[in-house]
Copies of this chain bind each other. A is one copy, B any other.
Amino acid sequence: MARSAFREPAVPEAGHTAYRRLREGIASGQFHPNERLVEASVAMRLGVGRTAVRAALVRLDQEGLVTLEPNRGARVRLISDREALEIEEVRSTLEAMLARRAATRAVPADLRELRQVVVEMRRRVDKKDAIGYSDLNARFHQLIWAAADHATASRLVGSLKSQSIRLQYQTILRPGRTERSLREHEAIFSALKAHDADAAEEAMVAHLAEVQETLRWAIDGLRAAPSWLPG
């Protein structure tokens, strides 16, 4: 390096950058579960200072994506199978509440956006585009959160979702799942459109029960072939 003597300009927002990129890296699987996150290495890799990485790690620890042990560093948090189910259970509870609220509060604009998403979802199912479907799925739920107008619950649900991303990729691989998922989403949409709170909650609970079931299936599959474990 030619300019080793010059101090690198302190890039502003390095902290935020480190947080965003680390989070992204964990979610996308670039950093494997249980992988050790050595501050200096990560800092080098992300092109930021150690301080920024440190702050990001604290945030991610509080968020549950990373475990931070005193004097022993950080590692990518491995969400145990049991914990994944716990998370899904809580998510189910909260999303049921949000769906109920959304049914009574959704305005025409909300419903229009939801309809668009559902239409597009069907298109992706027809095209066997599982990834695209998955993205729309996330968008569908987010629209409901927005319609429910409940910042606290939305924040928690979003945080939970990010923790269980690891298994997200597995669940969409189940044969026939997307078709059924689509029908479940359509049912939720119908209930919301009719402003029927009970039906919306019920449809959401039914949907997430299916998701839980699929999650169990995915866990059993992974137990047979844990690709991210050595040996």
Contact = CB atoms under 8 A, between A and B. Distances in A.
Interface string A171-206: 000000000000000000000000000000000000
Nearest to A55: B58
A34 interface: no
B59 A156 contact: no
Contacts of A83: 151-152
A97 interface: yes
Contact of A70 (B16, B61, B89, B156): B16
Interface residues of A, number: 24
Contact of A58 (B59, B89, B93, B152): B59
Contacts of A58: 55, 58-59, 62
Contact of A97 (B16, B59, B89, B151): B89
A20 interface: no
Nearest to A86: B152
A89 B89 CA distance: 17
A13 interface: yes
A94 B90 contact: yes
Q: What 3 A-B pairs have minimum CB-CB distances, sorted nearest first?
A: A62-B62, A86-B152, A58-B58
